Structures are given as C-alpha cells and as structure tokens.
Amino acid sequence: MGLAMKIAINIAFMISPQFISRVTLRRDIVESFDAYPFSLPTVRTFDYLEMHPKVTYVIGENGSGKSTLLEAIAVSMGFNAEGGSKNFNFGTHRSHSDLHRYLRIAKGFRKPRTGYFLRAESFYNVASEIDKLDAEPVAAPRIIDGYGGRSLHQQSHGESFLALLTQRFKGEGLYILDEPEAALSPQRQLAVLSRIHDLVQDGSQFIIATHSPILMAYPDACIYQCSKEGISTVAYEDTEHFQVTRDFLANPQRMLKVLFQS
C-alpha cells in the first residue's frame, strides 16, 4: 500500500462519525501468541476489526474469547473492567486480562456524550457500588436517580437490566454489552431490541457479545463470529444460533428425539 493511500485511510478514520471505527491488535509488541489471552483463536488470528457505525455483534461458543475481546475494548475506552460508566473505578476481583494494553482504538471526530459497559456476570457488583456511593454524605444527586430512582437490588435481574437501558442509556452514547440477554425473557429481549433501535436512531453505537438470536437480529449491523479458526464476519441467517433455534422451533419433537437417542 502506497503512502498516499495510507494517508487517505487515516484521514477517513479521523473524520468518521463513529465513536469507534476500528480495533487493531498491535501484533508487533505481543511477546508470545502461546500465552493467554493471545493463545485464544479469536485473538491469535485477527489483525483488526472494523466496527459497524450502529451495531457490532461478537458471537461464539463459551470460551471462544468474545467476552475477553469485548472487555479489552471497554477497558481501552476507559471503562471499569467490571462494568459501569467511566466514573466507576471499583474492583472486587481483578480477573481481566492485559489484552487492552495491546489494542489500538481508532476513534471518529465525535466523542460520545455518555457510555456504559454492561457485564451480565458482574452487574450485581455495579448495583452494590451504586448503593454504596449513594449512602455517602455528598452534596450531589443520587446515582440511582439516573437508573429510575429505585435500588437495582430491589428489582429482579431482568428489571434492573431494563431500568439501565431505558433510564440510564441516552442518545449519542457508546454502549458495550456483554451477554445482556442473561436475565431477560424473550419478550423483554424484544423490548431491548426496540430500545437499541431508538438509541441508534439517536446517534448511539453498540458493541454487543451475545448468544441470543433475538438480540443479534438487528438488521443494520455487522456480526463477527469467534470460532476455533479465528474470527470472521457471518450473515445472521448463517449463524448457528439462528439455525439451531429455527430448526428446534420448527419441529421440537423431532429435535428432542434425536437428542435423547444420541
């Protein structure tokens, strides 16, 4: 690639309206791809990933590395590793990898007005931190007021997730969500999909790791699939999540018969 072409590409990224346009692995400073997390196929094989201006999905089996990658992107953007907004800096157990130190994030000219990193597995800790901070005597509005005014611990897991998306999330935000479907019924996943659309229409960008064929159905999006072969783009109808769910619902008795005979 010529120098002029490289300059043109760099300028294009600089004027991009996206909050994140590209995530690059700095392979030249990785000491060994035999050590975790670089040994994960998802990490080992990628050079860079283009982020969709609206919604980017990262999917794959448990242990494929999708949550590790999402976490690294979030930490690189200044979010707390256990979740929350950039104002959260608590830590109950340091379990995140150092992958964020090896990522280069290409950002557009716009800065998000707000943002959030949602980790389903540690959202309880975020709720506890909010209660703790609001109990301190400070002359400032309560944090929980931004979530609807009711302690997240006084709601079901699914209710607290919905409160986060409907009350805390605003337009022109960057939202990184790790398996948000964990506490949601199918009906509420549809409600979340509708809320995502509203926020996208209001200038927000989402990066989502999910197993849900409902959540990953957003039409104007890019899906990256993590597998043993690495990471690659895939069409929604070609995902295993869509195909398995479709086949099961089309004939559950036949599928159960095959499963129980195996």
pLDDT value of residue 124: 63
Handedness of CA 74, 15, 168, 129 (dihedral sign): positive
222-257 per-position pLDDT tens digit:
999 998 888 999 999 999 999 999 999 999 999 999
Tell me: cis bond preceding 37? Omega within 30 of 0 counts.
Answer: yes
Measured in residues, the chain has a length of: 262
188-211 per-position pLDDT tens digit:
999 999 999 999 999 999 999 999
Task: Please give the Cα distance from 164 to 158 (Å, whole number).
Answer: 10
pLDDT value of residue 21: 94
Q: From edge to edge, which strands make up the β-sheet containing 48-50?
A: 48-50, 22-25, 103-106
CATH fold label, 18-261: Rossmann fold (3.40.50)
Report residues of the chain scoring pLDDT below 70. Answer: 1-17, 90-96, 122-124, 139-140, 262
pLDDT value of residue 11: 47
**Domain spans of the chain, in order of start:** 18-261
pLDDT value of residue 86: 81
pLDDT value of residue 13: 46
